[in-house]
Amino acid sequence: RIGNSLNRHQENRPMLKLYYHPLSTFTRRVLITLIEKAIPHELIPVDMAAREHNQPSYRALNPYGRVPTLMEDDFVLYESTAILNYLEAIHPSPPLTPADPRGRALVDMHMKLCDLELTRQTGTIIFPKRFLPEQRWNLAEMARAKAEIEQHLAILERSLAGREYLVAEMYSLAEVCYTPFVQFLPLMEIVPPPAVGAWAERILNRPSAVRTRPSH
């Protein structure tokens, strides 16, 4: 009875709207989760090249002028990990976090570590490589970022030793967070250690990751 009530509540929810850019790594996290959970949604592109993210109408939704932004009626979220946790809360099946508090805390820890130890550093390298001419690359900053990533991957290697996934032997929001960034290890000329490499290949081959793979 409780399950049926939850299903009816979910069916009656307003359509989620996702403001996004197709080349945004943080947007990709949300798209993967929406696919994994088969959540109905409406995609609203934000043309970053045309500076739509700086228009007053968009800044009224997201004062930082970034993507993604999630809307549900008048409820707005605009940080990717907050969006992922919200989607998990309102659509708990199929689960992307363990049921027990310790397991959920470990997923949260890995999500946070991904943002602290990988996302900024990856952006330092891949943004210029994807969008800027080589003469505008800051090679010293890119080298520092690469060294930080390699140090983080060495620590991640220990977490993944003998495991297929980071937490509770299940694909979780931790993997969702990492997917858009490990996609670019070859572009960054980083060879991951063995367990990380196998794990990265595993999560990049999931249908949700394949469907959201960037064009370049």
Locate 194 and state its tokens: 């063995």
- Residue 175 · residue 167 · CB < 8 Å: no
Contacts of 41 (CB under 8 A, 6+ apart): 15, 16, 17, 18, 34
pLDDT of residue 216: 75
- Residue 43 · residue 70 · CB < 8 Å: no
Residue 185 gets the label, from left (phi > 0), alpha (psi -120 to 50) or beta, of alpha
pLDDT of residue 1: 40
Place of tokens 């090249």: 49
Measured CA to CA in angstroms, residue 58 lies from 50, 75, 147, 167, 179 at distances of 13, 14, 36, 37, 27
pLDDT of residue 6: 45
pLDDT of residue 215: 83
- Residue 169 · residue 17 · CB < 8 Å: no
Terminal-to-terminal C-alpha distance of the chain: 47
Locate 74 and state its tokens: 């008048």
- Residue 188 · residue 146 · CB < 8 Å: yes
pLDDT of residue 12: 74
pLDDT of residue 5: 41
pLDDT in tens, the chain (216 residues): 434 444 444 567 889 999 999 999 999 999 999 999 999 999 999 999 899 999 999 999 999 999 999 999 999 999 999 999 999 999 999 999 999 999 999 999 999 999 999 999 999 999 999 999 999 999 999 999 999 999 999 999 999 999 999 999 999 999 999 999 999 999 999 999 999 999 999 999 999 999 999 987
pLDDT of residue 10: 58
Element holding 45 (H helix, E strand) = strand 41-45
pLDDT of residue 2: 38
Pick from 108, 119, 97: nearest CA to 182: 119
State CA 76 to chain mean position distance.
18
State CA 29 to chain mean position distance.
3
pLDDT of residue 8: 45
Q: Residue 167 pairs with which residues in a beta bridge?
A: 170
What's the pTM value of the predicted model, to 2 decimals? 0.92
